[in-house]
Amino acid sequence: MKGRIFRIQRFSIHDGYGIRTTVFLKGCPLHCVWCHNPESQSFEPEVGYKAEKCLSCHKCAEVCDRGAIIPAEIGIEINREMCDGCGKCVEACSGRALEMFGKDVSVEEVIALVERDRVFYENSGGGGDVFRW
């Protein structure tokens, strides 16, 4: 069985007392106005862009078959209606300005990653939920 996630955050300390590994799922239907992770809302894979990291090399635009990346004098713009989430631009980006949100992973893959921190949870007692913080 596979599910779509956009991030796995190890040593997560902001959602309750203690430590935890947080698996962020893609495709949240709630769309809260105060959402801290808007990249979670769409079920479809999405390219994230951090302008402050962009080198303006425009290699991303060269590899995009769909013409979804528009080079600008400084940085780029992404036409999200043209983008199909193929991820080629992310692979081409040496500045790490682009990130793909949305990856299909198996339960086994997620558990294998979470298990890496088992020793910390066993020694610390792990974390609790935010309602008992």
State the number of binding residues for ligand SF4 (CB under 6 A): 27
Binding of residue 60 to ligand SF4 (CB under 6 A): yes
Binding-site string for ligand SF4 from residue 101 to residue 130, where x marks contact by CB under 6 A and - marks none: ------------------------------
- Alpha-carbon distance of 9 to 117, in angstroms, equals 11
Binding of residue 92 to ligand SF4 (CB under 6 A): yes
Q: What is the DSSP string of 53-75?
A: G-----HHHHH-TT--EEE-SSS
Beta bridge partners of 49: 98
Binding of residue 70 to ligand SF4 (CB under 6 A): no
- Alpha-carbon distance of 85 to 82, in angstroms, equals 9
- Alpha-carbon distance of 13 to 45, in angstroms, equals 26
Binding of residue 5 to ligand SF4 (CB under 6 A): no
Which residues of this protein are in contact with ligand SF4, per CB under 6 A?
A: 47, 54-60, 63-64, 66, 68-69, 76, 78, 83-89, 92-93, 95, 97-98
